């Protein structure tokens, strides 16, 4: 799929929303991505996951890890595409942790999967959670990198779609100054 085709699918399924939003990071944006909307459509999720997996074919990925909640379905489908195991981290004491008996053996080749990257905070938390297990990090795959490639989680990122959208600290937000009502989409 081309980036234009991917964006068309995300628009058609209600993933890409426009307005004035407070992101999980606390930053404000004129675009919000509700990636779970596309997961309602297994045929789209399968195609998008294949695009997310493509740069890592032949990389020997053994485990795909995604953060709960947004990364779980994408991690599972990417793992299925690559023939790897799929696990997920969960929020724990301000960070992320593997629970439910999930583990990674030292040296196992791991791909971290995320639905959307803005600041890469969730990906950094996943990497921190699995670091004590000493995996080999193959890379990070995202459905959408909304930072325009500026977010740096500490591992190479490949995104199926790269967007460069407005993102501001609250005190510098032009939408706040213009009086546009703020939405907290995850509230």
Give me the number of domains the chain comprises: 1
CA torsion 73-77-80-85 (nearest 10°) is -30
**Secondary structure class of 114 (helix, strand, coil):** strand
Tens digits of pLDDT across the chain (187 residues): 999 999 999 999 999 999 999 988 888 999 999 999 999 999 999 999 999 999 999 999 999 999 988 889 999 999 999 999 999 999 988 889 999 999 999 999 999 999 998 878 889 999 999 999 999 999 999 999 988 888 888 899 999 999 888 889 999 999 999 999 999 886 5
Q: Single out the residue of 125, 156, 161, 126 nearest to residue 138, CA to CA.
A: 156
Range of the domain at 49: 3-177
Give the pLDDT confidence score for residue 187 in this predicted structure: 55
Asked if 129 and 98 touch (Cβ cutoff 8 Å), the reply is yes
**pLDDT at 121 (0 to 100):** 84
Does residue 110 form part of some domain? yes
Residue 186 lies in a domain: no
Please check whether residue 185 lies inside any domain of the structure. Answer: no
Residue 182 lies in a domain: no
**Is 169 in contact with 177 (CB distance < 8 Å)?**
no
Helix axes 42-53, 3-12, angle to 10 degrees: 150
Position 159 in a domain:
yes
In a domain, 69, yes or no: yes
pLDDT confidence of residue 173 = 97
Query: For the whole model, what pTM was predicted?
Result: 0.90
Residue 49: its pLDDT value, please?
Answer: 97
Name the one residue in this structure whose structure tokens are 């990364």. 71
Which of 135, 142, 136, 137 shows the shortest CA–CA distance to 157? 142
Q: What is the pLDDT of residue 160?
A: 96
In a domain, 119, yes or no: yes
Closest CA to 46 of 7, 74, 15, 21: 74
Residue 187 lies in a domain: no
- Domain with residue 70: its CATH number is 3.40.50.2020
SS3 per residue for 45-113: HHHHHHHHHHHHCCCCCCEEEEECCCCHHHHHHHHHHHCCEEEEEEEECCEEEECCCCCCCCCCEEEEE
């Amino acid at each position: 799929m081309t980036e234009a085709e991917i964006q068309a699918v995300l628009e058609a399924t209600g993933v890409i929303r426009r307005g004035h939003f407070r992101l999980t990071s606390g930053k404000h944006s004129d675009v919000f991505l509700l990636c779970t909307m596309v997961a309602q459509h297994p045929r789209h999720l399968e195609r998008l996951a294949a695009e997310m997996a493509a740069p890592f074919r032949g990389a020997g990925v053994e485990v795909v890890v995604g953060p709960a909640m947004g990364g779980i379905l994408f991690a599972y489908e990417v793992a299925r595409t690559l023939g790897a195991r799929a696990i997920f981290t969960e929020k724990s004491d301000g960070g992320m942790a593997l629970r439910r008996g999930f583990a990674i053996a030292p040296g196992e080749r791991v791909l971290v999967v995320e639905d959307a990257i803005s600041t890469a905070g969730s990906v950094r938390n996943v990497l921190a959670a699995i670091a004590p297990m000493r995996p080999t990090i193959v890379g990070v795959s995202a459905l959408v990198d909304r930072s325009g490639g500026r977010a740096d989680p500490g591992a190479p990122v490949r995104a199926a779609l790269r967007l460069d959208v407005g993102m501001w600290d609250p005190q510098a937000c032009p939408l706040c100054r213009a009086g546009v009502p703020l939405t907290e989409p995850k509230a």
